[in-house]
Amino acid sequence: MNFHQPLVMGVLNVTPDSFSDGGDFIRLEAALDHARVLQIAGADIIDIGGESTRPGAKRVTLAEEQARVLPVIEAIVAELGAKVSIDTMNAETARLAVAAGASIINDVSGGLADPDMFKVAADPGATIIISHWRGFSDQMDTLATYDDVAAEVAAELKLRVDAALATGIRQSQIVIDPGLGFAKDMQQNWKLVARLDKLEELGYPILVGASRKRFIAGVIEPDEPAEVSNERRDLATAVLTALLLQRKIWGVRVHNVLATTDAIRVVAALRDAEQS
């Protein structure tokens, strides 16, 4: 039995409108408390975002995004000593976040939303997660057109990786992300998850962010995916994570860290029993 233990990235959205936890952690004290919960549950990285990327979400100003995330990053690094990533499409927010203590830049746009993003990532030498992306939340559903989703996502990610390298980012700084849920319909998401080997061919670490997304809920309740609770989405996400442990993935980005670490431990125990 193949088994590759990924890093677990816990999601911390300090937004009023994220799709599953909007408004829950907008206050600094609530955000810090949740970061502590994620860390105790086994999160290796805490991913902090101040702008929702759910379908149809409106953009926020740089000032608003930075006011949300920077105090939280500073507090988590100072009080918990946790490894922090900044979930942003804005180069200036990324620069300030790294200065505040973040060591990873998680750009769901893969550097397409802000042409200065790769310059910022190259300067401090932070890890940068380059995701597949075709457009902002208000238009991405119209861009889900593929002949071979896995091959095309891999090809488009390679173009973004090449652009990052040309800007001075080192190969060792790069992690890639298939961008599940971004400009992909339900069937395309599942086909992409099933063919992560196409991304493996690029030779870079892979982050998978499937947690609580609509394509998972659509399997549970095809007629009413929006009505599927976070608890059911978390269970399904943990099952998917367990299955993906046979892939060489660098990390999984999840809301429910405890369910994910439990799933990883169960698979590890089975692997150890088979090898003993």
The answer to whether 178 and 133 are in contact (CB under 8 A) is no
Query: Is 238 inside a domain boundary?
Result: no
pLDDT of residue 17: 53
* 253 flagged as catalytic: yes
Q: Examine residue 96 and state whether it is found in any structural domain, yes or no.
A: yes
Q: Is residue 52 part of a domain?
A: yes
For 9-45, the pLDDT digits (tens) are 999 999 875 555 555 677 899 999 999 999 999 999 9
Q: How many CB atoms lie within 10 A of CB 257?
A: 24
Candidates 213, 214, 248, 271; catalytic one: 213
Dihedral in degrees, nearest 10, Cα atoms 189, 195, 197, 200: -10
Q: Say if 222 falls within a structural domain.
A: no
Does residue 234 lie within any of the structural domains?
Answer: no
Q: pLDDT at position 147, please?
A: 97
User: Which residue range forms the structural domain that includes residue 178?
Assistant: 7-210+248-255
Q: Decide if pLDDT at 129 tops 90.
A: yes
Total residue length of the chain? 276
**Of 50, 19, 25, 24, which is closest to residue 217 (Cα–Cα)?**
19
**pLDDT value of position 21:** 53
Total domains in the chain come to 1
Distances (CA, A) of 266 to 223, 244, 260: 32, 13, 10
Does residue 237 form part of some domain?
A: no
Within a domain: residue 268?
no
Write the CATH number for 26: 3.20.20.20
Answer left, alpha or beta for residue 218, where phi above 0 means left and psi between -120 and 50 means alpha: alpha
Of residues 83, 214, 233, 253, which has the active-site annotation?
A: 253
Judge whether 247 counts as a catalytic residue.
no
The yes-or-no verdict on residue 125 having pLDDT over 90 is: no
Number of Cβ within a 10 Å radius of residue 269 = 10
Residues in Cβ contact with 13 at an 8 Å cutoff, skipping those fewer than 6 apart: 21, 22, 24, 25, 48, 49, 52
Cα distances from 229 to residues 138, 211, 213, 232, 233, in angstroms, run 24, 12, 11, 5, 6
Residue 260 lies in a domain: no
Residues 6+ apart with CB under 8 A from 12: 25, 31, 34, 35, 38, 46, 47, 48, 49, 72
pLDDT, one tens digit per residue, over 55-69 is: 767 788 999 999 999
